[in-house]
Structure formats: C-alpha cells, structure tokens
Amino acid sequence: MDALAILASIVAAMAIGAMSPGPSFVLVSRIALSSSRTHGLASALGMGVGGLIFASLAVLGLTALLMQFEWLYLAFKVMGGLYLVYMAYRICRGASAPLDTGKSVHGAKEMTVQRAFFVGLITQLSNPKTSIFYASIFAAVLPADPVKWLLFAIPASLFLVEAGWYSIVALTFSGFRMRALYGRLKKWLDYTAGTVMGLLGTKLIIEAFNRKI
C-alpha cells in the first residue's frame, strides 16, 4: 500500500470515529445553539487542536507510555470523566435559565470566543481513549518505516477531520431555526445534554476502576 493510500485509509477511519456521537458532539452543538455561530466554530477549532495533539502523541509513540504506566492512563481517564460530570452538572444547573446570547453554556460566566475554544479543547482531551484509538489505527495501517512526510501529514489531516466535522455541527446547530427551537425547548434539551454528558463521564470513571480491579 503506498503512502497516499495509507493516509486515505487513516483519514477515513478517523472521520467515522469523529462522527460517532459523544461528548464532543453534545458540547459543540450546545455552544452553537446557546451562544453563537462564532462560538460554535471556536469550540470546533478546539476539538481539532485536541485531535492534533492526540495524533501527534500517537505518531511519536508517546501513547505507549499511557499503556506502559497503567496508573497514568487510569488517572487521565478518571480526571476526564470527572470533568465531563462537572460539565453535566453546570449544564443542568443552568437549564432553567432563559437563553441569553453571549452567556456561557453553563449559564454562569460570559462565554467568550477564547473560552469556547478552550472548552472544546479540554473536552476533546478529556478522553485518553482517543489517543489509544489513534495509536491502534496507526499500528494497524502504518508500515514499520513510513515515509517521513506521512508522519507530518497524518496529524495535520486529523486536525482537518476533527475541526471540519465539528464546524459542520456548529454551522448546522447555529442556524436560526435550530436556535429558535432550542429557545422553546431549552430546559429539556439542556437536561438531556447534561444527562448524556454525565453518563459518558461516569462511564469513563467506571471503566477506569473496573480496569484497576
């Protein structure tokens, strides 16, 4: 398999993974709905940077450290789960607050574009399983001695996949009709989003402790 075919197969696998429902989708869609299109795109960019970081770690082989030192992997997993549970709590706490453009998705602090970016970045980095997933795909597809340009092209391509997909999500959910619908159903949609986020965070924590046991 030549280098271009390898890159294409990796990008296809990662695109499928990115489009799978998860906390990132919930977070970006809610920021786009409750703040603005610009905020949604900023959070999508944060998701892309998070994907770039994980892909770079996997290419450099640093992901092997997480597997070699299992306690470190489990610690990252628990911290990521606790972060998602915290996000869920803040979302549910602000569910009854009226929609106010420019306010935080948590309903507490002003949501700046920079904050939207970092919320997206931290949410992406909250699950170390993403890095392990990347590494497993790379191990299955990459040859033992890949051409050098491929090692640079893979992280850049995965940044485009993650940022591109979540930009589509942000653009879709920031439309007038979607925002109008969200304004009418905000309370129940927020409770639903918070519940989903909380369950995903709890799942991470449970998986970590089960693995430890």
| pLDDT for residue 102 is more than 50 | no
Phi, psi at 127, each rounded to 5°: -120, 100
| pLDDT for residue 144 is more than 70 | no
Per-residue pLDDT, 165:
93
Where is average pLDDT lowest: 10-19, 54-63, 112-121, 191-200?
Answer: 54-63
CA angle (159, 76, 204) in 5-degree steps:
90
> Which pLDDT band holds residue 16 (cuts at 50, 70, 90)?
confident
| pLDDT for residue 109 is more than 70 | no
CA 185 – CA 187 distance, rounded (Å): 6
Phi, psi at 110, each rounded to 5°: -65, 130
For the question of whether the overall pTM of this predicted structure is more than 0.85, the answer is: no
Token pair listed for 46: 């944060």
List, for residues 35-69, the tens digit of each pLDDT value.
888 999 999 999 999 989 888 887 777 656 666 66
Average pLDDT, the chain: 79
Per-residue pLDDT, 121:
92
Per-residue pLDDT, 106:
42
